[in-house]
Amino acid sequence: MKEAMVQIQGLDFCYQKEKPLFRETRAEFYGGQITGIVGLSGCGKSTLLRLINGNLSMEKWPDVSGQILIEGKNRETWNQDELIQKMGTVYQDPDCQILFSHVEDEWVFGMENYQLTAEVMEERMTAVCDLLQIHHLRYRNPNHLSGGEKQLVILASIYCLEAEILILDECMAQVDPDGRQLIGEALQKLRDAGKTLIMVEHEEKNLQIADRIYRVINQKLIEEVISG
């Protein structure tokens, strides 16, 4: 079996000693799969994502043990620029992530930071429009898009940077049923393109597209068997 893109090994983490979030937690996340994480509010789902994407450093907390591996390498040894290139995060509120009043500018911004040529940028934007079938969004103003369409714009931005790992923190929470369908279809296409998708959701119905599901129970991630 191929090696997991992300591995959580024996993770203990707590903000306060009397309130541990995780104890001896283990999990694996693979390329070409959507892996869901579900649990009650306050159980640590979003904290776990922040530990994975580097927004929360394990080294700054005294009551932490275990490790998180990205492509077999301890996450703490990656620098932030490397992590940004390796993975992208989509949050609940798309308006907090969209900076520009033109969709194409949104996509170009990140690529320009990596000094990609105009030719390469055009190739990547065309590729993601083909993959997600969003050519019609390319020249729009994001402020005039639906919540689901805005999330597609953010997913496309991450794809343009060729991130291999997508972190999805309740990305369907603020969209209507039509938006959830748009996002779900896009995520499945990204999975089929070989991406590793880690999807936290409070609403279990949003995880119907998941290939694997972990439930947070008693400070651990317990994998559930998906029937059918």
Catalytic residues: 170
Largest Cα–Cα separation, the chain? 55
Where on the phi/psi map is residue 218: left (φ > 0), alpha (ψ -120 to 50), or beta? left
Nearest CA to 220 among 5, 13, 26, 7? 26
| Three-class secondary structure assignment of 168-209 | EECCCCCCCHHHHHHHHHHHHHHHHCCCEEEEEECCHHHHCC
Selection from 196, 107, 191, 119 nearest residue 157 by Cα: 107
Using the Cα atoms of residue 6, residue 182, residue 144 and residue 133 in order, give the sign of their dihedral.
positive
Residues 6+ apart with CB under 8 A from 25: 8, 10, 11, 12, 13, 66, 219, 220, 221
Please give the helix or strand (H or E) that residue 30 lies within, else none: none
